[in-house]
Every structure is written in C-alpha cells, then in structure tokens.
Amino acid sequence: MPVSRTPVPLFRQAMDTARKGLAQVAFFSLFINALMLTSSIYMLQVYDRVLASRSEPTLLYLTLFAAACLATLGLLDTVRSRLLVRMGAHFDAQLSGPAFERVLGSGRSPQMLRDLDSLRTFLTGPHVLSLLDAPWMPIYIALVYLLHPLLGHVALAGAITLLLLGLWNERRTRAILAEAGSELAAGHQFAELSGRNAEAVRAMGMLPGLATLWRRRHDLGLGLQGLASDRAASVASSAKALRFMLQVGILGVGAWLVIREQTTAGVMIAASIVMGRGLAPVEAAIGGWRGFLAARQARVRLAEEFGDQSAAPQSMPLPAPRGALAFEGVSGGPPGSRAVTVRELAFRIEAGSCLGITGPSAAGKSTLLRLALGIWRPLTGVVRLDDVNVADWDRHDLGPHIGYLPQDIELFPGSVADNIARFGEVDAREVVDAAALAGAHRMILELPNGYDTEIGAGGVNLSGGQRQRIGLARAFYRRPPLVVLDEPTSNLDAEGENAVRRAMDALRAAGRTVLVVAHRPALLGGTDKMMVIQNGRIAAFGDTGELMPQITRRVAGRPAATPSPAEGGLCRA
C-alpha cells in the first residue's frame, strides 16, 4: 500500500534548497581557507630557510608552488561565487512566482517581493561568505598556538574581544532595526495606497495632509535606521581599530620573542598573517551585521506570509467548462476578514443562461461574483462550475475560459492588443472579434497607433469609457464559456450600453453563460433570469419577464406585491 507523503511547505522547501547550496559553498570554503595559508607558509619558509641558506633554487620552487596554490585559490573562489549566484537564482525561481501571485491575488503591498530580494541579495552577497569563513577562526588561532603559545594567547584574546563586540552590536541594533523596518514598510504601503487614489487626492487638496502622515512615519523609520547605523558603525570602527592593534601587538610580541631567541622572524611574520586572516571574517561579519539582521527579518516575514503553502500539485486537467453554475449554501466575504457579506446563497443556472443581478449598494453583489469566479473562497458551502468545485480548478487552466470585468478596471503597460489578449499570444482575429463585440473596434482604430497603441500604467492615457470598452473586449476575448460583468456600463454612454446589450445577446446565442450586475433596468431586461440581493441574501430569483415589472414599479415608487413562487415562478431565498 503506497504511503502518502505530507507535502513540504513551499518556503521551507526553498530554504532547504538554499541550505544545500550553502553546504556546497562551505565545501569549497574548506579548500579556499586552507589555500589562504599559502602566503604565511611562503613567508615562513623564505625567512627561515631561503634567507638562511641563500638557496636560489629553493626560492624558485617555493615561489612556483605558492603561485600555483594562489591560482588554484582564485579558481576555487570563482567557482564558489558562481555557486552562490546560481543558488540565489534557483531560490528566487522557487519563490518569486508564488510571491507575485500571492501579492496579485490578495491585493497586498509588494513587501513580499522586497523581502525576497533582500533575502536573496544577502544569500548571494559577500557577507554570507564571511559567515561561512568565520568557523575557521579557531583553526587559524590553533595554528598561531603551534607557532608559539604566547602569540596564540594574543590571537585568542583578540578573537574573544571581536566576538564580544559582535554580540554587543547585535543586542544594540536588533530591536531598533526591526522597528525601523516596520515603520518604513508601513510608509511604503501608505504611499502605494495614496498613489492608487492620486486623482482624488489632487482634486480634493488632500496632498499636504497625506504627505504629513507619510513623512511622520518615514522620518521615524529613517531616524531609527540612522540610530542603528550609527551604533553599528561605531562598533565596526572599533573592531577595525582593534584588529590593527592586534596586528601591531602580535608583531611586537613576535619581535620580543625573536630578540630573546625564542622564535624566528619567519614565525613572527607568519603568525601576523595567519591571525589577520582568521580575524578578518569576524570583522567583516560585524560590519555587515545590519544586512544580516535585515535578511533575518525578511526571512521571518516571508515564512509568515507563505505559511504552510505547498507547491501546487500537478492535477489532471479537466475538460473546458460549458458554463453551468451552482451555489450550494454559500456564505462568504473578503479574504482575511471575519465579515460575512453574503449568506446561504443557493441557486443554479444552466449553461447558456444570462443572469442579471441587482440590489442596493453594499448588498453583496460583487462578493457573489468573486465567489462565482473562485477569486474568493466561501466560508461555507460550495460553488460549482459544471458540477466541479471551483476551488478544485487549476487557475491557470480555468482562467482562459472566464471573462471578467470588475468595477475597478485596471489596464497594464503594453499595447491595446496585448491587454485584450490578456498578455498571452495575440490572435489578431480573436482580438478584433472581441473588440467588435464590445463596441470598441472603431474607438481603438481612432487611437494614435490603433491596436498597437501603448497604454500607460493603469490606462492613464485613456478616458474612463475607453478603459471600460477595452476591459469589456478583454472579458470577451475568445468568447469564454463564463462571462461575469460587474457594472459594465458605469462609464458608457447610450451607444456603449446598446453595444453591451448586443454583446450579451450574442454570447447567449452562442451558448455562453453571462452574469451581469447592473442597476439600470434597460440592461437587465436582456437577461433570462434575474436575482435581487438584499443584505447579503437572495431576496428574489426567477424569470426576468416576471420580476422586471415588479422592480420597475418599485423603482418608480409604486408598491407591488411580491408574488409567491407558485404565482409567478419566483424562487424565494
């Protein structure tokens, strides 16, 4: 019987891959640090053997051997650097795509992407090499002890002092840097939110007040960061001065030992070089401690964001949906919120039907559409598309079979054709067909470069009506089986409304399922079924021909009795 394996969380899997890469780098560091002793051994032999014997062949062979060792050192260091770069690229490939999808899917600030860049930069930078070289410090100090115990005492005292400085530096800066990062991240989020509402900010003169709020948080973050940097810089400067003092001290002690004829000049020079090499990674680690703390905080945030998310398993592809949609006791609301905006929705529409949805503002209409598309997951109940739970569809497989026009239409930098084709391979015939169906073909041809016109970020160089028509064409691209339109005529004139009505008729005639939210009865009059949402519940559901007169009379201010299901074919929720 096969044993089921628990899927490994995606972030932990990526970190395990990074650890394996760092283990390979550490393996090369073993030989690199051994070859780092070349200069000290060379100096020891030159001072103690060559100068004493005045043997030129010995000097030649020693020099050639040292040169070969240093060339090997350079080669291994290059290999180690390339391993780090490739490890970082693989780490990024594992997480950047899911992180981008998570940011895009949740509408959150792109802090995840910044954290990922920060962690990858640290893992592939020089500071991580210092941390990998630091464990060699005891070996270098032991070698100094072999040269002479008194010289070893000097090196050990210096190493302990540097380590204490590093720990002190970490304690003084950790909390401050964490608070600074939190404040700066909040400032970035505030700036992004303000930027998405730039027109309203400028129109109502809100810029000075918002700038004051942003500046307050930004300055606080910079001030804390500057305080931590000042403290870290003072410790790093002290560490550098200490290392120079140790170099002088070990040379002084070595010279004293030479004078007393307890050691040789070669030992003195070699001990100075070995100790300097052993303490250099510790000093570098202290100097890069701020980067290490930032990377650690980024790692913690990424682990929290990804949580137990696992790599999506390869699922068997399902056949293209026909468009039958069913809600089975569905309640739900915005992700990450306890608010429930729709409750116990239960209805079914067959493929090729056209359902009009209306109701007062904040009744839950847009929530219903997001649940139907699988953008939001229900808290209770199941949404089925062709009898398949929408949550079970692979989004990449399902997406091409869905057309969606949200209330807030976002277009992306690229050509008009790219936006209509959803940034996939552009099928010119399908692009033109979708634009014609949306009543946008003539409008697009009047743009400076027609379908090749470049759209700025968010469609800033287009009017609201132009953005809406292009958004409609994007929803109609390849005439998908399920089309969902949320207030599709909010920025359109009478001609645009007629175009949307004709498009709905054409889609219905082609057997496509259409869900449309609208307040204007003229648009809803072209639907087969109609639904009224009130307070998150279905207040009425039935044939449009039976419900529309009641809604029209109600809007006009004339009371109308609500028929029972038996009288008018009306399904009460």
pLDDT value at position 180? 74
Asked whether residue 460 is assigned to any structural domain, the reply reads no
Residue type, 274: V
The CATH number of the domain holding residue 510 is 3.40.50.300
* Domain identity same for 346 and 222: no
Cβ–Cβ under 8 Å, residues 520 and 488? no
The model's pTM? 0.67
Q: Which of 501, 345, 506, 486 has its CA nearest to residue 403?
A: 486
Asked whether residue 387 is assigned to any structural domain, the reply reads yes
* Domain identity same for 293 and 342: no
Cβ–Cβ under 8 Å, residues 309 and 13? no
Sequence-separated (6 or more) residues with CB below 8 Å from residue 450: 416, 444
Cβ–Cβ under 8 Å, residues 106 and 335? yes
Asked whether residue 250 is assigned to any structural domain, the reply reads yes
Distance of alpha carbon 306 from alpha carbon 20, whole angstroms: 21
* Domain identity same for 263 and 355: no
Into how many domains does the chain fold? 2
Asked whether residue 90 is assigned to any structural domain, the reply reads yes
* Domain identity same for 547 and 399: yes
Question: Which residue, chain included where needed, has tokens 């096969």?
Answer: 2
Q: Which of 457, 424, 419 has its CA nearest to residue 438?
A: 419
* Domain identity same for 14 and 50: yes
Which of 250, 279, 306 marks a domain boundary? 306
Asked whether residue 451 is assigned to any structural domain, the reply reads no
* Domain identity same for 70 and 187: yes
Which of 306, 335, 369 marks a domain boundary? 306
* Domain identity same for 294 and 374: no
What's the domain range around 77?
Answer: 10-306
Sequence-separated (6 or more) residues with CB below 8 Å from residue 502: 439
Which of 306, 341, 376 marks a domain boundary? 306
pLDDT value at position 367? 93
Q: pLDDT below 50 — which residues of the chain?
A: 1-5, 558-573
226 phi, psi to nearest 5 deg: -65, -40
pLDDT value at position 558? 45
* Domain identity same for 257 and 340: no
* Domain identity same for 330 and 286: no
**CA-atom Rg of the chain in angstroms:** 35
* Domain identity same for 508 and 539: yes
Asked whether residue 431 is assigned to any structural domain, the reply reads no
pLDDT value at position 355? 95
Asked whether residue 433 is assigned to any structural domain, the reply reads no
Asked whether residue 459 is assigned to any structural domain, the reply reads no
* Domain identity same for 69 and 112: yes
Q: What share of the chain is helix, strand, coil (3-state, %, to 5)?
A: 65, 10, 25
pLDDT value at position 310? 58
The CATH number of the domain holding residue 46 is 1.20.1560.10
Instruction: Give the burial class of 316: count Cβ atoms within 10 A of its Cβ; 0-12 exposed, 13-18 middle, 19 or more buried.
Output: exposed
* Domain identity same for 286 and 333: no
Instruction: Give the burial class of 390: count Cβ atoms within 10 A of its Cβ; 0-12 exposed, 13-18 middle, 19 or more buried.
Output: buried
Helix residue ranges per DSSP H, 427-573: 428-437, 441-445, 464-476, 494-509, 521-524, 544-555, 565-568
Distance of alpha carbon 60 from alpha carbon 399, whole angstroms: 72
Distance of alpha carbon 238 from alpha carbon 137, whole angstroms: 19
